[in-house]
Amino acid sequence: MVELVNSFMATDKTKQLKDIISKKKIKYVDYKFIDVPGTWQHKTHPIAELTDDIFTEGTGFDGSSIRGFQGIEDSDMLLIPDADSVFVDPFIAEPTISLTCDVLDPSGMKPYDRDPRHIAAKAEAYLKSTGIADTSYMGPELEFFIFDDVQFDVLTPYKGMGYSINSSEGIWNSNQNSSPNLGHRPRFKEGYFPVPPTDTQVDIRNEMVGTMMDMGMRIELHHHEVATAGQAEIGMRFDSLKKIADKTMMYKYVVKNVARRNGKTATFMPKPMFGDNGSGMHTHQSLWKGGKPLFFDKDGYGLLSKTALYYIGGLLTHAHSLLGLCSPSTNSYKRLVPGYEAPVNLVFSSRNRSAAVRIPMYSDDPRTKRIEFRPPDATCNPYLAFAAMMMAGVDGIKNKIDPTKAGFGPINKNIYHLPEDEKAKIKSVPGSLDQALTALENDQDYLTKGGVFSEDFLQGWISYKREAEIDPVRIRTHPYEMYLYYDA
């Protein structure tokens, strides 16, 4: 170990890395990277293999085995670790450091066009090139469920397909003959903020938060969410676009693994159960330049500047195509239906959670002024989703899309309770993933500006989603169809 540390890179960038390896007696290095749909992948090496040239020459892997990457004829790919991303992995028994990696094409040693992390980096560079701003801050609010058990069968279709979930917090268990059945459970849609004993998951959320903070993340709060059966949220501090995407992956990694080591299972699926609120990823956004916020105006609606209003105009104008990247699962559109606090209405409003864009009004400090885009969910790839939202907002600024003149509000009423004739005038989000992908096919110029998203990447994304997700769901018999049509 001493020999390794002494021979390792002596730059300031890697000093922290060397110190960790020495002090923590690290034995392994885990290289993590993200596939196109948005799942972390990894491989592990003995720490002696972590040498200077890894940071310039990379370490190889088979790109044909990663979803959305290369064909088998061009499968050799490289991972280049980011020394700034280091943390000690709390879920591996032997002392192990984790490094998040960029993907390179060994032909020419160029960043790989389909690497989502590279797309996020290109989005940040594009923002600077416009002169509008130099930093895009994102603050995602990830909601999730912690269940005690989940079962599903799709592999034996002729014997029956189905799923079941269970939670000791589920209100449906109030009449079960458990020993003992103590009765304190959140009712449907009443899970927001009850104290223990109704909220049984304070300790596991504390463990998740503590683990995240040990990994270097800044966490602001945690709480039970609206639904019964263990819906939760942990509030993570905002950060710049690519950094917060890295932290979003760390967040999901911690939540799932802490749940598992406590004998439970966590899911970020938007709508795992019918009849109660789903899980979203409301995303707070703002632009800054030269260390100054650009979204504040003391005389503007909701204290917003013209720049912020144009940004909103871009988000709402491109919302249908955006959701092809920001709400990119078939299950997303089980959540995005009227009611259940679903943000389906393409309008903006201050304080109003029935609008797709909410303007938080907790403070009049210019540094806190931001907008919140509510339709996304955590089935997205965060690098792609955050980049796409920023590109839509910047397009709104460049083209001065005034959301008021474009018919997007503001509306300061509970939209769910409006008379039908007023509701009919309000535009809505797509009703399915297929509709969102069709919109993405027809509205993508704002994404390809500056070469941030390539047309090839977007077409590959659309094809993958249709072939691997939409069609397999579409062609299978649904249990409710048996209920509706068996006696036909």
Question: What's the pLDDT tens digit per position in 304-320?
Answer: 999 999 999 999 999 99
Q: Pick the catalytic residue: 105, 372, 377, 434? A: 372
Q: How many CB atoms lie within 10 A of CB 473?
A: 13
Q: 135-485: same fold as 2-112?
A: no
Per-residue pLDDT tens digits for 42-77: 999 999 999 888 999 999 999 999 999 988 777 899
Please answer whether residues 343 and 352 qualify as being in contact, where contact means their C-beta atoms are separated by less than 8 angstroms.
no
Examine the residue annotation and report whether 455 is marked as an active-site residue of this protein.
no
Range of weakest confidence among 235-249, 362-376, 437-451: 362-376
Question: Using CA atoms, how far apart are residues 102 and 124, in angstroms rounded to an integer?
Answer: 15
Question: Using CA atoms, how far apart are residues 193 and 205, in angstroms rounded to an integer?
Answer: 13
Examine the residue annotation and report whether 62 is marked as an active-site residue of this protein.
yes
Examine the residue annotation and report whether 105 is marked as an active-site residue of this protein.
no
Examine the residue annotation and report whether 124 is marked as an active-site residue of this protein.
no
CATH of 135-485, one of 3.40.50.20, 1.10.3720.10, 2.40.30.10, 3.30.590.10: 3.30.590.10
What integer best gives the mean pLDDT of the chain?
Answer: 92
Examine the residue annotation and report whether 57 is marked as an active-site residue of this protein.
no
Domain parsing of the chain, residue ranges? 2-112, 135-485
Nearest to residue 140, comparing CAs of 279, 37, 253? 279
Examine the residue annotation and report whether 282 is marked as an active-site residue of this protein.
yes
Tell me how long the chain is.
488
Q: Pick the catalytic residue: 35, 124, 143, 239? A: 143
Question: Using CA atoms, how far apart are residues 296 and 316, in angstroms rounded to an integer?
Answer: 20
Per-residue pLDDT tens digits for 222-276: 999 999 999 999 999 999 999 999 999 999 999 999 999 999 999 999 999 998 9
Examine the residue annotation and report whether 233 is marked as an active-site residue of this protein.
yes
Per-residue pLDDT tens digits for 127-178: 999 999 999 999 999 999 999 999 988 887 677 788 999 999 999 988 887 7
The pLDDT of residue 13 is 61
Q: Pick the catalytic residue: 353, 402, 443, 466? A: 353
The pLDDT of residue 179 is 65
The pLDDT of residue 7 is 40
Q: Pick the catalytic residue: 318, 374, 434, 469? A: 374
Taking the CA atoms of residue 55, residue 56, residue 57 and residue 63 in that order, the dihedral angle to the nearest 10 degrees is 70
Q: Pick the catalytic residue: 19, 62, 364, 467? A: 62
pTM of the model: 0.94
Examine the residue annotation and report whether 185 is marked as an active-site residue of this protein.
no
Examine the residue annotation and report whether 353 is marked as an active-site residue of this protein.
yes
DSSP E strands, 247-342: 265-267, 281-289, 292-293
CATH of 2-112, one of 3.20.20.70, 3.10.20.70, 3.40.50.300, 3.30.70.150: 3.10.20.70
